[in-house]
A and B are shown apart, each in its own frame.
Chain A
């Protein structure tokens, strides 16, 4: 019984590890879409020069591009 419990526990741990790894991969996977969304609120110049930074007072153009 103890051996079976150990096997189940190891399996559950392995699944939790896989779940964590896949969560990280999934976040990285949607990152390009997130960057595009963020850049949609920045002026063209800052899209090209500060691609990955969040909009600040200087670069934020609100809904102007929409």
Chain B
């Protein structure tokens, strides 16, 4: 017998009365979301994988050709170059964005005067779209590089560091907000205990603050890593892949290497820029791109989650 005298299984609370139809008809309640997921994500995703094994111009005339698109993707020297270039860019931007964002967040949670204004200023570039950002910075870089009789479009290393500066400028503010939230959530009694135990500020940072900040670090590294790999608009607007380099392969074929072209831009150029016969190759590249980003993100999430501290 229950405490209130009701029979077992017959709950009398208002909440449970409301919840009962939901439990009984859960399929009905799940259906709209499941349908939206299937139509908006699962079906296009599966169709995309299917198309990567086809030769097509429109989705209606797809013809199965097996792994031919994947083979031509791997034979494309420009794609392999973009692969390496994007990986390097993602690693450098990941480190710089997170170090800078953490440093800014750390200082802005010290209670300095004007910290709210500084937060606004650092977050502001995040409100500007990628294409506009690219054009703004191309004007600035060319304005500076003109003094040295060069341009951002003439040197690959200028393009690389230009993109790095651009994404840092854009994303540091966003990551800073996440780090500030994490720093404010570090229990004050832990910090006080560390101080009483005689820990210096560096020791407190290393042994107390950072371990408690691991959830924020997980989110920020995940976001900056995936953003680094997926970068498209800024790359298109700032350099468009320039400067170009021409290479001759062992079999005598001439290939164009766009020295600042990242993976997403390479896929876009393959799909729209070349002959329509290359659309299947672009689709195969997109699937490879997805596999790469997903597997790296999962590995990174596992690595950083294992270091999180339970409070």
Chain A residues near B (Cβ < 8 Å):
15-16, 18-19, 22-23, 26, 29-30, 32-33, 35-36, 39, 47-49, 51-52
Contacts and interface: CB of A to CB of B under 8 A. Distances in A.
Nearest to A36: B136
B118 to A, nearest CB: 5
Which of A18, A30, A32, A51: most chain B Cβ within 10 A? Answer: A32
B112 to A, nearest CB: 5
B17 interface: no
Contact of A30 (B113, B121, B140, B142): B121
Given A15-B110, A15-B112, A22-B112, A36 B118 contact: no
A48 B142 contact: yes
Interface of B: 107-108, 110-114, 117-118, 121-122, 124-125, 136-137, 139-140, 142-143, 146, 169
Nearest to B165: A32
B139 A22 contact: no
B124 A52 contact: no
A23 B114 contact: yes
Contacts, number: 53
A49 B169 CA distance: 24
Contacts of A29: 121-122, 124-125, 169
Given A15-B113, A19-B113, A51-B143, A32 B137 contact: yes
Contact of B121 (A19, A26, A48): A26
A18 B103 CA distance: 12
Contacts of B169: 29, 32
B136 A26 contact: no
Nearest to B132: A36
A30 B124 CA distance: 8
Nearest to A52: B143
A52 B141 CA distance: 11
Nearest to B122: A29
Nearest to B140: A32
A52 B145 CA distance: 12
28 contacts: A15-B111, A15-B112, A16-B113, A19-B112, A19-B113, A19-B114, A22-B107, A22-B114, A22-B118, A26-B117, A26-B118, A26-B121, A26-B122, A29-B121, A29-B122, A32-B125, A32-B137, A33-B124, A33-B125, A33-B136, A35-B140, A35-B143, A36-B139, A47-B139, A51-B139, A51-B140, A51-B143, A51-B146
B110 A18 contact: yes
A43 to B, nearest CB: 14
A8 to B, nearest CB: 13
B223 to A, nearest CB: 20
Contacts of B142: 48, 51
Contacts of B137: 32
